[in-house]
Structure 1
Amino acid sequence: MTKYKLEYLWLDGYTPVPNLRGKTQIKEFDTYPALDELPMWGFDGSSTKQAEGRSSDCVLKPVSMFPDSTRKNGVLVMCEVMMPDGETPHPSNGRATILDDPGAWFGFEQEYFFYKDGRPIGFPDRGFPAPQGPYYTGVGYSNVGNIARQIVEEHLDLCLDAGINHEGINAEVAKGQWEFQIFGKGSKKAADEMWVARYLLQRLTEKYGIDIEYHCKPLGDTDWNGSGMHANFSTTYLREVGGKAYFEQLMTAFEDAREDHIAVYGPDNHLRLTGLHETQSIHSFSYGVADRGASIRVPHSFVKNDYRGYLEDRRPNSQGDPYQIASRILKTVASVPTS
């Protein structure tokens, strides 16, 4: 028998943005455990805004698992939060009720800032560094410093070790800002992997004394870049059939559902979606081929392939919940008839 360190992860009850929580349980197994062998586990919901003190029990239900290469016999266990009966999803459990479809593919582009002492790393104690320009995909100490690349490379390895479908990294437009990309087939799978990737990044930066800032406009009303989480998406029909007429109907459906999308695309998005700096206004909807300022960017390859392939929704922000973003996109796509 081997003792495994099971790190149970879940989303708490904070709004509008939940926090990741985690605690470790030690269990013995003959071999590396399967998901259905992992037990449910209780926790004090009164400490996570998910219960009151007089009735504080909540239950964690394992829903996906990943190897944890930072620990001997370590396992990362993504969980849904359930009521004490272990069967009823907790009101904060948004994963349990989202639309899901293994034929729906999602690629999330997670932007974020490294922060230390209340400022992005690389910023001087007062004022600002040189203007944006050389930082995006930059190289060299003056552009990316001496710690950020080390962290993102370590994070990349941790994700790959965990079996997360991590697809790439790059320095972003603002100083101290970076991005990683996660791809998954199915709303729940893609979002599970994004949440676990976020957890691994935040846990990794503990040893460097650095925080991850996910706010979509942490530098406020300035010309410094905000952070998004662009959502690339496709469905089986969009990849295999598509067509211009279907695409135009789909864009009409997205325009009609604009407010519903914005409602789940992350808080404070009005600070980021200003209509400037390659964003469409939060109050408008547009689409265009290779247009980084549109709500939906249409790749050249999509048009050349008879309107088949994937599309990019550029409106979700860096604090958005990927469960809700993927589900909202899928709901709008499902509203358009395919015959």
Structure 2
Amino acid sequence: MSVLDNSPNAKLDKTLLDKYLRLPLPEGKVQATYIWVDGTGENVRAKDRTLDFLPKAPKDYPIWTYDGSSTYQSEGRNSDIYLYPVAVYKDPFKTGGNNVLVLCETYNYNKEPTESNKRRACAEAAERAVDTKPWFGIEQEYTLLDMDGRPWGWPTNGFPGPQGPYYCGVGADKVFAREVVEAHYRACLYAGIDLAGTNAEVMPAQWEFQVGPGEGMKCADDLWVARYILHRIAEEYGIVVTFDPKPMAGNWNGSGAHCNFSTKAMREDNGIIEIEKAIDKLSKQHLRHIQAYDPKGGKDNLRRLTGLHETSSIHDFSAGVANRGASIRIPRGVAEDKKGYLEDRRPSSNCDPYSVCNALIRTCILDE
């Protein structure tokens, strides 16, 4: 039996949809997909509405609501959660018009941020640190699964060969579902996401894309929308995307979201001094960052940060030049140029990028 037999989506004839998507929209109509983070802190939800005008900025989009009791964010007797638009992207799925993806923050009935709204605190920190011009770049690793939860392309009753030939691999016996990756890459660029690149990762069926560098909130906003686009594209192929930091137990690499971070001072001549100061601050706040770097306060990363498979130990802070087994890696080129950025390798693949960026700003810039 083919793995596609278990996927209703994969059986649909996608050419039929294209026939209808080519129909022109009525004059002045815009299809807007509102996207938000649900109560899990790691999954995205979305719903569509029609607008009869094209807003000029995110603040001009209508505030909307949804049933928070169905997204782990409220009780049924007081279920309405507010959607506040904060960033807008071109829609790569509905291209026949001015259609958009609208990223939103979520607010409770009393207009206070929901528990899963980590963007609000990050935006406040970024505003206070704006003069230092913090840049972020995040390397998002993920794994593709079939409908039975098995990594895509793996033998049904066995395992592929040991890790080694798969990282940046080429060939049908080394990489699986490249179509999904290529489609995602192009769709993100079309949408306006600063997607810097992509590659096959160490475990077969594991991939990575890089977002940024972007100043302030841009990288974290882009990453959430890039995740949404990835889920949507994989959905069409009948493939499941998982951001679980250790999807396969045993001698297989886990998945992270390494965060590259710098300030204006770090990027200038002799910025290595500022990088070393930041690393010293981070060494004193290790537990705080571990708690911020996965949605379960470190429990997910406990399965990944073991000191093996290119990770540091979750219990100890470390730093080093070109050391992929350290908490903080200083890239070789940065050490040679004596300026640039640091790479925090601790965030898990299912992290909330707002929490990661918020923690780095508050520790390294605001000295909190």
TM-score normalised per structure 1: 0.92
Q: Which residue of 2 aligns with 1:36?
A: 59
CA deviations on 1:157-177 (whole Å, 9 max, x unpaired) are: 100000100000100001111
Q: Which residue of 2 aligns with 1:83?
A: 108
Contact 1:173 1:225 in 2 (8 A): yes
CA apart distance, 1:32: 6.2
In structure 2, the CA distance between the partners of 1:128 and 1:119, relative to structure 1 (3 Å rule), is same
Q: Which residue of 1 aligns with 2:231?
A: 202
Distance 2:272 2:222 in 1: 32
Are residue 323 (structure 1) and residue 350 (structure 2) matched?
A: no
Distance 1:218 1:202 in 2: 17
Contact 2:196 2:211 in 1 (8 A): yes
The equivalent position to 1:265 in structure 2, one of 285, 293, 296, is: 293
Are residue 108 (structure 1) and residue 110 (structure 2) matched?
A: no
Distance 2:179 2:185 in 1: 10
In structure 2, the CA distance between the partners of 1:58 and 1:309, relative to structure 1 (3 Å rule), is same
Q: Secondary structure at the match of 1:301?
A: helix
Structure 2: which amino acid aligns with 1:280? S
Distance 1:326 1:64 in 2: 17
Q: Identity across aligned pairs (percent)?
A: 47
CA apart distance, 1:250: 2.1
CA apart distance, 1:83: 2.5
CA apart distance, 1:33: 4.3
Q: Secondary structure at the match of 2:218?
A: helix
Q: Secondary structure at the match of 1:254?
A: helix
Q: Secondary structure at the match of 2:173?
A: helix
Are residue 2 (structure 1) and residue 19 (structure 2) matched?
A: no
Q: Secondary structure at the match of 1:272?
A: coil
Structure 1: which amino acid aligns with 2:236? K
In structure 2, the CA distance between the partners of 1:142 and 1:67, relative to structure 1 (3 Å rule), is same
Contact 1:61 1:81 in 2 (8 A): yes
Distance 1:329 1:264 in 2: 10
Distance 1:64 1:122 in 2: 36
Q: Which residue of 2 aligns with 1:126?
A: 157
Q: Secondary structure at the match of 1:293?
A: coil
Are residue 225 (structure 1) and residue 256 (structure 2) matched?
A: no
Contact 1:81 1:93 in 2 (8 A): yes
Contact 1:253 1:335 in 2 (8 A): no
Distance 1:113 1:125 in 2: 16
Structure 1: which amino acid aligns with 2:327? S
Q: Secondary structure at the match of 1:141?
A: coil
Contact 1:205 1:211 in 2 (8 A): yes
The equivalent position to 2:38 in structure 1, one of 12, 33, 36, is: 12
Structure 2: which amino acid aligns with 1:317? S
Contact 1:250 1:336 in 2 (8 A): no
CA apart distance, 1:238: 1.5
Q: Which stretches in structure 2 are left out of the alignment for 5+ residues?
A: 1-26
How do residues 158-237 of structure 1 correspond to structure 2 at under 5 angstroms?
A: 158-220=187-249, 222-237=250-265
Distance 2:30 2:272 in 1: 52
Structure 1 segments, 4+ long, off by >6 Å, are none
Distance 1:184 1:79 in 2: 22
The equivalent position to 2:91 in structure 1, one of 40, 49, 68, is: 68
In structure 2, the CA distance between the partners of 1:242 and 1:321, relative to structure 1 (3 Å rule), is farther
Question: Alignment RMSD, CA only?
Answer: 1.7
In structure 2, the CA distance between the partners of 1:242 and 1:317, relative to structure 1 (3 Å rule), is farther
In structure 2, the CA distance between the partners of 1:180 and 1:243, relative to structure 1 (3 Å rule), is closer
How do residues 274-313 of structure 1 correspond to structure 2 at under 5 angstroms?
A: 274-306=306-338, 308-313=339-344
Contact 2:252 2:309 in 1 (8 A): no
Q: Secondary structure at the match of 1:143?
A: coil
In structure 2, the CA distance between the partners of 1:78 and 1:184, relative to structure 1 (3 Å rule), is farther
In structure 2, the CA distance between the partners of 1:235 and 1:199, relative to structure 1 (3 Å rule), is same
The equivalent position to 1:22 in structure 2, one of 31, 39, 46, is: 46
Distance 2:358 2:272 in 1: 24
- Greater shift after overlay, 183-192 or 274-283? 183-192
Structure 2: which amino acid aligns with 1:315? R
CA deviations on 1:79-138 (whole Å, 9 max, x unpaired) are: 0012235x4323331111122145111110000110002110111011211111111000
In structure 2, the CA distance between the partners of 1:242 and 1:50, relative to structure 1 (3 Å rule), is farther
Distance 1:336 1:32 in 2: 38
Contact 1:249 1:336 in 2 (8 A): no
In structure 2, the CA distance between the partners of 1:274 and 1:210, relative to structure 1 (3 Å rule), is same
Q: Secondary structure at the match of 2:52?
A: strand
Distance 1:173 1:281 in 2: 19
CA apart distance, 1:270: 1.4
Distance 1:127 1:204 in 2: 27
Distance 1:44 1:248 in 2: 47
Q: Which stretches in structure 1 are left out of the alignment for 5+ residues?
A: none
